Amino acid sequence: MPLNDDELQTYAEAHTSPETDLLRRLNRETHVQVLAPRMLSGQLQGRLLSMISHMVRPARVLELGTFTGYSALCLAEGLQPGGELHTVEQNPEQEDRIRRYVAAAGLTARVHLHIGDAAAVVTALPGPAWDLVFIDADKINNAVYYELVLPRVRPGGFILIDNVLWSGKVLPSCLLKPSDKDAHAVRAFNDLVQQDSRVENVFLPLRDGLLLVRKR
């Protein structure tokens, strides 16, 4: 039978563990006070990020594109004791909100916020290899970020990339205008990963698409 996308989303959320009270407050604040609140991961994707983090039990997590901090808090839930998460946001206007919610979660010593250009920050960050990376920054540079982080991910580690459906524009049936640079970039990036012998990958049509990549 044909599925109604809104009904399917509602049903999935109703059968997924709820947000914590802190995440619920951040979700609400983002929708009331921030432009483009749909960029926030939300309950369904947030619980998936938390679940993956709990399965991986990472010691080191990297996130590119913090937005208001919702996904960072979800990813931090599965950290090993003593583990740390580094998250990069280019918009300095979000810094106070992110730090406030990280502090409210009791994670100030474990979640490290970097304000600036993602590529520059990734290149400068020292330390051991990453166990888990979440790429959710500007889509034009997906391939740049991917090539930067892949050598720094441990063998068997994971990279997650958000918005790989790009509102369905990546589908072959969608005729793209030359000016739609983001859609062209996402489509090309998806093909790049599919052809990359260094990794294994699974494309999940969750919300706006989530690509799961495991380094061989």
Task: List the domain range (segments joined by +) for residue 184.
Answer: 5-215
What's the residue count for the chain? 216
Model confidence pLDDT, tens digit, residues 119-172: 999 999 988 999 999 999 999 999 999 999 999 999 999 999 999 999 999 999
Which of 130, 119, 35 has the alpha carbon at shortest distance from 75?
130
pTM: 0.96
Q: What is the CATH number of the domain that holds 116?
A: 3.40.50.150
Residue 73 neighbours by CB under 8 Å, 6+ apart:
22, 23, 26, 101, 102, 105, 107, 111
How many structural domains does the chain have?
1
Centre a 10 Å sphere on the Cβ of residue 28 and count the other Cβ atoms it contains. Answer: 11
What is the full per-residue pLDDT of the chain (216 aa) written as tens digits? 666 788 988 999 999 999 999 999 999 999 999 999 999 999 999 999 999 999 999 999 999 999 999 999 999 999 999 999 999 999 999 999 999 999 999 999 999 999 999 999 999 998 899 999 999 999 999 999 999 999 999 999 999 999 999 999 999 999 998 899 999 999 999 999 999 999 999 999 999 999 999 999
